[in-house]
Structures are given as C-alpha cells and as structure tokens.
Amino acid sequence: MATPTRPALNTLGAMTASHWESVHSTKGADVSWRQTADQVWIDLVDDLALDPAAPVVDVGSGSSLFVDALVGAGFRDVTAVDVSAAALASLRSRVGDSAHLVVSDVLEFVSPRPVRLWHDRAVFHFLVDPADQSRYARNLHASLSPDGHAIIATFAPEGPETCSGLPVQRWAADDIAAALGLTLVRSESRVHTTPWESTQPFTIAVLRP
Ligand SMILES: C[S@@+](CC[C@H](N)C(=O)[O-])C[C@H]1O[C@@H](n2cnc3c(N)ncnc32)[C@H](O)[C@@H]1O
C-alpha cells in the first residue's frame, strides 16, 4: 500500500488560500483574533524606537487595525501580506495607499528590500509542519535587515489548540527563537480577549539576527 504523503506545497497553499478567503469573505471582522483599536499591541513597536522611514512588514495581517496603527504612528513604508485578497481589500478601504498590500502565502513571500521589522501575530502558529516552519524561517532571514527585529506572537503553551478550525502549534518564546534561528531579546505573555469575552494566552517573542 502506498504511504500517504503530504500534499505538494502548491496544493496546501491553495487549501490555505481557499480557507482564509472564505473566512474573511463570510465573517469580516467577526473573528476571534480581532483586536479593537485600544487592544492593538502597537506598544511593542514603539519600544523599538524605529525610524518612521524604516520598512515594516506585517505578515498574515488580515484586516487588522495593527496596520492602521502603524500608519497612524507615522510609518511610511508599511507592507501588509496576507493570503486572502478579501482581507486586504478590507484593509485597503481603510488605509488606502498608505501601505503596500501584497496577496501572498507567507511561505512564498520574501521582502524585496530589507525590513527593519517583521511582525506576525497569529500566523506562524498555523505552521505545524517543521518543513513549513523552516521555509518561513528562510523567508524571514532573507527579508530581515541585519539590524532588524521580528515580533512573533503565537498561542502560548497553555493556549487554544486550534484557531479558525485549524490546528496550531503553541509556543514558548525560547522555542520560537530556536525554530527561527534568531536571538531572543524580549519575551512576554499577554492575554487576548476575543469579541465574545473568552481569553487566549499568547506568547510574544521579540527577536533579532
Ligand atoms: C488568526 S488571523 C490573524 C490576523 C492578524 N494578524 C491579527 O492579529 O488580527 C491569521 C491571518 O493570517 C492569514 N494567513 C493564514 N495563513 C497564511 C499564510 N500561509 N500566508 C499568509 N497569510 C496567511 C489569514 O488570512 C489571516 O488573515
């Protein structure tokens, strides 16, 4: 009997895109990970004291208000990457041309110019296959400036086992650093309160090459 094999990356990518396009098209802002403007974790970026001209990328941005907060803070070179065109259309309706919007699987995305900040809230944790985690790490390294930082937020070890009906890997900050081959400069635990008042513990890792 043939050994079951993992679907090819382009097949998985198509499944990922179709799942997320459906989620964004049908649910809009009515999703568990939604942060209201006062919940957005922009303080993490403030603490890095970046030049507003610094290239910043938010991968798996969805239609998050985080991008609005970056633009509002004066960042002039913001790129939001998401596999869902519907999510980015929603973002476009708010931020217009103030950010570059790129429809792409994060496993296919390398920034065309070195970024000073790579931000990921709740995308890396969907990569439960070590091969995908390695691919993500390669793209991150290829995108990040030598003096750049990455902020990676995932469900914490005591957090939910699924998100949007998909399995996730729950992480401690040290393990994120090891998986991505980066140096941990700060770690935090934060709790996200969903729109229906349940709580989700997150790990946040601030990393540098
Ligand atoms: C849980 S939501 C988080 C959205 C946003 N970062 C936030 O904090 O509100 C995950 C987002 O990642 C996107 N996504 C999932 N897998 C992706 C992938 N492989 N490449 C790019 N985007 C992806 C989804 O469309 C969705 O917008």
The pLDDT tens digits of the residues spanning 15-53 come to 888 999 999 999 988 889 999 999 999 999 999 999 999
pTM of the model: 0.95
Q: What are the distances in angstroms from CA 30 to CA 18, 26, 84?
A: 18, 9, 16
Q: Check pocket membership of 153 for ligand 1, CB cut-off 6 A.
A: no
pLDDT at res. 3: 42
**CB of residue 170 inside a 6 A radius of ligand 1:** no
Residue 91: count other Cβ atoms within 10 Å of its Cβ.
23
Contact 154, 173 (CB under 8 A): no
Check if 151 has its Cβ closer than 6 Å to any atom of ligand 1: no
Q: Of all residues in the chain, what percent carry a pLDDT higher than 90?
A: 89
Provide mean pLDDT across the span 188-201. 96
Find the CATH number of the domain harbouring 40.
3.40.50.150
User: Looking at the 3D structure of the chain, how many domains does it have?
Assistant: 1
User: Average pLDDT, stretch 75-95?
Assistant: 97
Taking 90 as the threshold, does the pLDDT of residue 70 lie above it? yes
Query: Which structural domain range is residue 104 located in?
Result: 32-208
Contacts of residue 111, Cβ cutoff 8 Å, sequence gap at least 6 = 55, 57, 79, 142, 143
The Cα 123–Cα 93 span in angstroms is 22
156 belongs to a structural domain: yes
Cα of 82 vs centre of ligand 1, distance in Å, is: 6
Determine the residue of 10, 44, 83, 120 to mutate for testing ligand 1's pocket, defined as the one with the most ligand atoms within 8 A of the Cβ atom.
Answer: 83
The pLDDT value recorded for residue 166 is 94
Q: What is the pLDDT of residue 120?
A: 98
Burial (CB count within 10 angstroms: exposed 0-12, middle 13-18, buried 19+), residue 82 = buried
Name the band, by pLDDT with cuts 50, 70 and 90, for residue 13. confident
Q: Please tell me the distance between residue 35's alpha carbon and the centre of ligand 1 in angstroms.
A: 14
| In-domain check, residue 51 | yes
